Structure 1
């Protein structure tokens, strides 16, 4: 009996030693890494693999979210919460040209170092959508004539604001697409906090190759993008 008891005790100790050692098995797949923890139970940890811009032509249209999760989105024209009071996009996506993405990634890295990040209201806009907007509001003061096109139609313009890393919007003084003097960059008759927020947005975007529109604090064009052709590339909508 004593021999049996000693054997059982040694077996228990051996099992405890084995269970105390972590077993880590990594299996790469398209979704991430699968790890077997110390209890030998499979636990999948999702680590999104972002695409690389390497080798892509600057003129190529790509989906921004495929290259970073560091941005926020409120794609207004995919809803009726906009000055048109109508939804003109089939789904909320932010596509733009590779060269614009490169500049946005660099700008956002600077913003993140200061505790904020870019939030998008609009990105590339297919010319067919420009025609929809023109049909609703055929006024060049508010909507670019689709025949001439907008820099949005060329993949070189974005409408943006700033939010904290937790997602809280910075006060810019007006909502997106507010048409009035309060939205002007050269209107300094505003609280200092608003002026500081706009200054941070404007100066950082300009350092990374964008220029602003005087009457719209949210609108930024990539330098040289006005030379690009009007495009009507359309993305697929996924649920």
Structure 2
């Protein structure tokens, strides 16, 4: 059973989320890009490409913002409620990604097991993919066996030579995301695509940081 304080946080968070959805009145089939924090501040953001702590070794986003198609945000809100009821929160590493950034990534890692070929485009470029992990209510990341953006077989969903804790945590993340309309990317435990995400158009706009 979760402690009373945690249960109180969940109830308070769910109330805020429902209020935000009601206030904004955006239809659920809308493909408009929205800022996830306009709907819930319960999502933890550590946008790696807004820092130098990434495989590019350079900052390619001007600021830390998570933009996604509205339908993607709705699915994530549902997943977030599911995880919070179990004592976790979603921590986001990447959301919408402009096509120009995808091209830069491909130049460094031209391997479709880890980086989508920009000629076809990534689901990130369509605003319907997220890179994420789970944290507890103190902000501690759950052990997943590798770091984010680890390019090796250990990052794959079917890799089994990990600790029992890491395997269990990956299963928790996978189950929660799949229950709410997302599907895995086989070679990256952190990457999830909205099931209908590839039907969206590729975008290349950069967001305003003001």
Residue pair 1:123, 1:159 contacting (<8 A) in 2 also? yes
Which shows bigger deviation, 97-106 or 131-140? 131-140
TM-score, structure 2 as length reference: 0.85
Tell me the SS of whatever aligns to 2:183.
strand
Question: Matches of 2:151 and 2:109 in 1, distance apart?
Answer: 14
1:201 aligns with 2:168: no
Deviation at 1:188, TM superposition (A): 1.6
Question: Matches of 1:148 and 1:237 in 2, distance apart?
Answer: 28
The residue number in structure 2 matching 1:55 is: 26
Greater RCO (CA < 8 Å, at least 6 residues apart): 2
Tell me the SS of whatever aligns to 1:109.
helix
Residue pair 2:97, 2:124 contacting (<8 A) in 1 also? yes
Residue pair 1:84, 1:137 contacting (<8 A) in 2 also? no
Residue pair 1:53, 1:98 contacting (<8 A) in 2 also? no
1:125 aligns with 2:135: no
Structure showing greater Rg: 1
The residue number in structure 2 matching 1:93 is: 65
Question: Matches of 1:210 and 1:133 in 2, distance apart?
Answer: 23
The residue number in structure 2 matching 1:105 is: 77
Which shows bigger deviation, 126-135 or 96-105? 126-135
Question: Matches of 1:227 and 1:153 in 2, distance apart?
Answer: 11
Instruction: Name the structure where helix makes up a greater proportion of residues.
Output: 2
What is the count of residue pairs matched by the alignment?
A: 192
TM-score, structure 1 as length reference: 0.75
Residue pair 1:88, 1:133 contacting (<8 A) in 2 also? no
Residue pair 2:89, 2:134 contacting (<8 A) in 1 also? yes
Listed as ranges, the gaps of 5+ residues in structure 1 are 1-46
Listed as ranges, the gaps of 5+ residues in structure 2 are 1-15
Matches within 5 A, 1:143-154: 143-154=115-126
1:216 aligns with 2:188: yes
The residue number in structure 1 matching 2:55 is: 83
Question: Matches of 1:188 and 1:211 in 2, distance apart?
Answer: 19
Which shows bigger deviation, 177-186 or 55-64? 55-64
Cα shift readout 1:77-136 (whole Å, capped 9, x = no counterpart): 111111111111111110000000000000000000000010000001111222332344
The residue number in structure 2 matching 1:74 is: 46
The residue number in structure 2 matching 1:237 is: 209
Residue pair 1:120, 1:159 contacting (<8 A) in 2 also? yes
Cα shift readout 1:158-201 (whole Å, capped 9, x = no counterpart): 00000001211100011000011211111122111111100000
The residue number in structure 2 matching 1:176 is: 148
